[in-house]
A and B are shown apart, each in its own frame.
Chain A
Amino acid sequence: MLTTIAQAVVNGLLIGGIYALVSIGVTLIFGVVKIVNFAQGEFVMIGMYISFFLATSFGIDPLIALVISMLALFFIGVLLQHFLIRRVLALGDMPQIFLTFALSLLLVNIALLLFTANYRTVQTAYSETAIHVGAINVPLAKLIAFAVAMLLSGLLWMFLHGTDLGKAMRAASQNRDVAMLMGINPDRVYCVAVGVALALAGAAGSLLMPFYPAYPLVGQNFVLMAFVAVVLGTLGNITGALIASLMMGVAESLGIQFVGADSGLIVVFGMLLLTLALRPNGLFGGWSR
């Protein structure tokens, strides 16, 4: 029994690392640009397809492809902010939500047209390998994904706290007008924020590829989870999103283990609705960023 619980917790934590990359992206965009990116999951999907084609066409390992998909998605993010999001910033909730929403629909369906609905998988040397810690089984690919996810989260934290650009980003997220008065160019900061957020989604895609199939709708599995984590962790709060993502991963995994294979999401959504009822500002509402 104890082993079962421990195994479920480990599984949950490992996948929680991926959720964290996606939800940190969502919360970063919300914190800085003040819009919710409903298309974040689709950028994970793009990261997965990039890694898939690099692996099948050139034999590049997804862990190396990670660099390429992060760069590609950073670039896409800058373009997205500059050509689309920037134009609806002054328009209010409705156009903002539906712009990213339409983008999500568009990307899913273009993927469907280009790549069909087939599942694509990449087998790596470490896809089937597992490490045994006592009675607990730790799949190597998931462990690597988790470690890299935590490393990237740490790097982001250092970027936000240690560099001028990062500090400018945090300043813009706290108070846009004052930040502008201090000489911060909001357009540039916004482009970088969206770029970084998409790069994290791309990283999540590459990290998933050794153990998760790519298909056009794959992003939805992650974006719903990320929304829950972002709300739980208080919109805009990066540390909150990270902790909440790991919690969601564990909650989902325990739900699957003890309520039934199809019940992971019920537990997760139940947690979301409970949080919204009891603490609408999330668990970390009082905390500073």
Chain B
Amino acid sequence: MRRFVSQGGFWVGALAVIAVALPLLVSSTFAIDIFIRILLFAFIGVAWNLMGGYAKQLSLGHAAYFGLGAYTSTILLIRYGVSPWIGMLAGGIVAMLASLPIGALCFRLRGPYFAIATIATAQVLMLLFLKFRDFAWGAEGTTMPNLGDAPLMMQFDSKAPYYYVVLVLLAVGLAITYWIERSWMGYYLVAVGEDEDAAEAIGVDALRIKRNIYLISAFLTALAGTFYVQYIYFIDPNTAFSFNVSVEAALVSIVGGIGTLWGPVIGTVLLEGTSALLQSWLGGGHGGVQLTVYSLILIAVILYRPAGLIGILTAAYDRVIAGTKRANKSAAP
């Protein structure tokens, strides 16, 4: 994987150029909307992957941080007129603060216990926000005030700026992952993920490592929450703390390849791309088709490619490289 990135620097650059140019080439708002969703879920997947992929702490409750980010910026915007750009950072900080007690509670648990406990924390937050009628609009939710084209308030009159916002978010997420992968923290993380007891035995403070990575993961997930409610102009507890967010974050990473830099991106392109194609083929009103296909893909990946689809890509890439080398060798007598 590491080789894939360093040798593939060219490809990453090419990908970045394509990603930046895409809204200029494609004018269909439907298509841009799909691209935004792909980038957003790739970003959430990247955030989840830090926790679930590298540290192998299987969280199924990342909706908690998504929702906290969404609600913090919305409350600041509507109650106090604070720009969502600031609200986004505030949401990230709230999510980090929330991750501390949640982590303290859940980190003593392993595997399935941990997954169940994280589901419960996200559900409790959703139920609490359903109860807070005066403070957070309860079950009805609220719409964002429409300020027209107000870039300083994270509102734009076309889809392209939203696209670039979420593209930057994803780039930041990938850069952080890339940096962590190469730092001492990354090695500790992988050690904890592989075997927590063995890591502790050689002097890794597993609890501290898990807490730190959870802080980063929660922060990033909250940014996605703010972006999402700004993008759809609406918030309610069922959207903000949707179990689907938790699930999708994990799904895209697993399908792409957990604990790898590009895994969540590959997984999202495949899953969201498939779902967009299905939608355009079948039209709306076919509830269930999309998730049926998702779950079939997931089952197939788990049974046949437990390391994720990224393995197929790296293998193909290696073959191409080996092929060119051999060709060069035979060409130079």
Give residues in A with beta carbon < 8 Å to B. 30, 35-36, 84, 87-88, 91, 93-95, 97-99, 101-103, 105-106, 108-113, 116-117, 216, 224, 227-228, 231, 235, 260, 262-263, 265-266, 269-270, 272-273, 276-277, 280
Contact = CB atoms under 8 A, between A and B. Distances in A.
19 contacts: A88-B303, A88-B306, A93-B56, A94-B258, A98-B298, A102-B298, A102-B299, A106-B292, A109-B290, A109-B291, A111-B288, A113-B288, A231-B116, A262-B127, A265-B127, A273-B120, A273-B121, A276-B106, A280-B113
B272 to A, nearest CB: 16
Contacts of B127: 262-263, 265-266, 269
Interface of B: 56, 58, 60, 105-106, 108-113, 115-117, 119-121, 123-124, 127-128, 130-131, 247, 250-251, 254, 258, 286-292, 294-296, 298-299, 302-303, 306
Interface secondary structure of A, over-half rule: helix
Contacts of A103: 295, 299
Contact of A106 (B120, B128, B296): B296
A235 B117 CA distance: 13
A94 B254 contact: yes
B292 A109 contact: yes
A113 B306 contact: no
Given A91-B306, A102-B302, 11 more contacts: A36-B115, A94-B258, A105-B247, A108-B288, A108-B291, A113-B289, A266-B124, A269-B124, A269-B127, A273-B105, A276-B113
Contacts of A106: 291-292, 295-296, 299
A116 B285 CA distance: 10
A74 B205 CA distance: 45
Contacts of A266: 124, 127-128, 131
A110 B119 CA distance: 23
Given A227-B116, A269-B120, A102 B105 contact: no
A276 B294 contact: no
Contacts of B128: 266
A93 B289 CA distance: 28
B295 A270 contact: no
Contact of B295 (A88, A91, A109): A109
Interface centre among B109, B250, B291, B296 (most CB of A within 10 A): B291
A269 B299 contact: no
Nearest to B123: A269
Contact of B112 (A84, A93, A112): A93
A94 B105 contact: no
Contacts of B296: 106
Contacts of B250: 98
Given A265-B123, A265-B127, A276 B288 contact: no
